[in-house]
A and B are shown apart, each in its own frame.
Chain A
Amino acid sequence: MSIFIDRNTRVLVQGITGSEGSFWTKHMIDLGTQVICGVTPAKEGQTIHDIPVYHSVERALRNHEVDASMIFVPPKLTKDAVFEALANGIKKIVTMADGIPLFDMVAIRHAALEHDALVIGGNTSGVISPEEAMMGSFPYWIQRVYKRGNIGVMTRSGSLTNEVTAMIVKRGYGVSTLIGVGGDPVPATRFAEMLPYYQQDEQTEAVVIIGELGGTMEEEVAEAMEKGVFTKPLVAFLGGRTAPKGQKMGHAGAIITGGKGAVEDKIEALTKAGALVADRPSNVGILLEQLNVPKK
């Protein structure tokens, strides 16, 4: 099993006829994802890679049953697209766009909580269960990064995720499900909220979080571990240890944190909760070995 998405997840794609939407829908299908239908206003009746397109989500759902929506619309239209999916009862949503206005992300986060839905993103590559299925844009054909295995990965970053995951794979591990919560200051879903799913997932035997300076998401992970919500081995890699104070470096994660958010605080919190923290990407796999995580 994996979490969030597998071969059985039926996916609707919002913005399927756009260049990104069409390109990555093809790759999602090629990997094994069940893409059922798509939505682009004014394009009903067309097909993209043999997938039927509808004017609206409600019209698509009259003809199909879906479990999740993948949103490829531009940043300015993202809020509306997420609201449309939520209003139609879809509980799993991935939204990729980089550049979503801050207040739109606040509204999306708020609405996701109210609908009790999992919205992943924005500013993310999405979610992938290697060799199973994906919602998003991952170069899954790069075998030294996207290999199936027993390590759950959560990240705020794109390029850094490729870097760290390649190092995990190099050490002989693979990935159960990788979730990019996204690099925006207000991600719709936070690290700690995904931990219970990894806890339940039989395929996942350890989790790697790829965090960085700013915000409090890593501290929330530590808190979840302290409370016993998550009890499997956890390794963290955090970028920005040597970053000078007061500079906006990395993702725009650091809004108000009441003195929290420095990497040293995150390391302290995570270590106290029993996690191991890697100082460089190449050490992540070594720390997994130290925690006796089997290689599967």
Chain B
Amino acid sequence: MKLFEYQVKDLFKNAGIIVPKSQLIHRVDQASEAFAQIGFPCVIKSQVLSGGRGKAGLIQFVKNEGKGMEEVTRLFALPQKISSLLIEEAVDIAHEVYASFTIDPISGSALSIVSATGGVDIETLAIEQPHKILQTKIDMNLGLQAYQANHIAYECGFDPEIAKKFTQLLVKLYRLFVQYDCELLEINPLFITKSNELVAGDGKCSIDDNSMFRHEDISVPLGDIENEAERLAAEEGIPFIQFDGDISLMCAGAGLTTTVYDLVHYEGGTIANYLEFGGPHYKKAMKAMEICLKVPSKVILIVTFGTIARADVMAQGIVEAIGKLKPDRPIVTCIRGTNEVEAVETLRKAGLNPLFDTEEAVRLAVALAKETKI
């Protein structure tokens, strides 16, 4: 689960990592008080989970209240429905650094990634200037050792005053990484101010979904998700991504769904949404179809080939969902796997024409999408 910037900065603050002074607002009428608290110049930062906020114009540097109010009004009025803005003091920056922790799946260790060149996309830096990135493996049975953090700091070329502060910061960041079962915990940019303070300018935190049971204190407010289909999927924990094409995928199994996604494109079709209701969700056909019906599409394509996710159970669920939700668009089914004979029978009895070959099902869905007019 990805956290909003303001949530990450709360974690930082509680862990003793310095963050800029800030105030979170949810409505335009809260802006003036926030500006009074924070002062000018300041930065208005849209709280969205997608990356590239700067390029998208979702982060604005403002020098006075007039301009500030104008930006706050504009950002809240955007079609993507931003639910909150972080009004943050502008920091006197001398230098920007990158620091993060993640997992190295090959060695089974934590991995510290640090670059003295911060404020950039680390993936790009990894390709273009890999020598500027310091990667250090950390035995998670032992934890990050002080000597490792110290070495990293001096390898970055910091002078002793900053190196000492950076070492402490890295140790605090690692503790948070472990405490919250993070897939990724990142500070980028980490500002080094003109008065030699280290201040976390932005933070990213992605908590392992499988570990959420250990972190009941943390959640992303689902109400902040404006898209109804996305919100329903998030409530159920069903993997879902909306696109703007014709074919709504309601498939089971991450690998198979991704493959069907590819096959639709090969056949000249387009995708309305990716939805995967396999694994722990295979009994949720009703919910899955409800979500798919919220997405504008011309056809729903259901492809499964499950083992534990039994075909007969999914077929029964699909028939019940059709009965209750009365979909207004054609449905193509290709349900195979454990108890597939019973599944086919169930689908036929309900008046569907179940297919048995994935590529045939994909071609039919693409053809139907081309015929159907909305």
- Which residue numbers of A lie inside 8 Å of B, CB to CB? 20, 75-76, 98-103, 106-110, 112-113, 125, 137-139, 142, 155-163, 166, 183, 185-187, 190, 210, 212-213, 215-216, 220, 239-243, 246-252, 255-256, 258-259, 279-282
Contact = CB atoms under 8 A, between A and B. Distances in A.
On chain B, which size bracket covers the interface? 35 or more
Interface string B251-283: 011111111011101100000001000111000
B80 to A, nearest CB: 16
Interface string B198-232: 00000000001111011000000000000000000
A99 to B, nearest CB: 5
Given A106-B108, A139-B338, 14 more contacts: A99-B210, A102-B208, A102-B210, A106-B109, A109-B105, A159-B252, A160-B259, A162-B307, A166-B336, A186-B105, A240-B261, A250-B258, A251-B254, A258-B123
B262 A239 contact: yes
Given A159-B309, A243-B258, A250-B255, A190 B106 contact: yes
A259 B257 CA distance: 24
Contact of A183 (B102, B108, B254, B266): B254
A83 B106 CA distance: 19
A86 to B, nearest CB: 13
A109 B106 CA distance: 8
B181 A142 contact: no
B181 A210 contact: no
Count chain B CB atoms within 10 A of each CB in A137, A255, A256 and give the residue with the most: A256
B256 A163 contact: yes
B296 interface: no
A139 B339 CA distance: 9
Nearest to B105: A186
B307 A103 contact: no
B253 A158 contact: yes
Contacts of B261: 240, 242-243, 249
A160 B181 contact: no
Contact of A239 (B108, B184, B259): B259
Interface in B102-130: 102-111, 113, 123-124, 126-127, 130
Contact of A110 (B109, B123, B336): B109
Contacts of A279: 262, 266
B196 to A, nearest CB: 30
Interface in B348-370: 358-359
Contact of B181 (A102, A138, A187, A242): A102
A281 B305 contact: no
A255 B183 CA distance: 7
24 contacts: A20-B308, A98-B279, A100-B210, A103-B208, A106-B103, A137-B308, A139-B337, A158-B309, A159-B255, A159-B278, A160-B255, A160-B305, A162-B307, A185-B103, A190-B105, A212-B255, A220-B106, A242-B266, A243-B258, A246-B51, A256-B102, A256-B184, A258-B127, A258-B133
Contacts of B241: 247, 249
A50 B333 CA distance: 41
A157 B279 CA distance: 11
B140 interface: yes
Contacts of B127: 258-259
B337 A162 contact: yes
Nearest to B207: A102
Contacts of A239: 255-256, 258-259, 262
Contacts of B252: 159
Contacts of B321: none
Given A103-B178, A242-B262, A255-B183, A183 B255 contact: yes
Given A139-B337, A159-B253, A280 B266 contact: yes
B210 A255 contact: no
B5 interface: no
A28 to B, nearest CB: 14
B306 A158 contact: yes
Contact of B108 (A101, A158, A166, A186): A186
Nearest to A136: B307
B253 to A, nearest CB: 3
A42 B283 CA distance: 31
Q: Which 7 A-B residue pairs are closest in the complex by CB-CB distance?
A: A159-B253, A157-B255, A160-B255, A109-B108, A110-B108, A102-B208, A258-B126
A160 B113 CA distance: 34
Given A185-B105, A255-B105, A160 B253 contact: yes
Contact of B258 (A185, A215, A240, A256): A240
B304 interface: yes
Given A160-B259, A255-B184, A215 B105 contact: yes
A247 B108 CA distance: 25
Given A75-B210, A103-B181, A280 B263 contact: yes
Contacts of B266: 242, 279-280
A190 B255 CA distance: 17
B306 A159 contact: yes
A213 B280 contact: no
A159 B103 contact: no
Contacts of A280: 259, 262-263, 266, 359
Contact of B255 (A102, A106, A108, A158): A158
B140 A103 contact: yes
Nearest to A184: B210
Contact of B256 (A107, A157, A255): A157
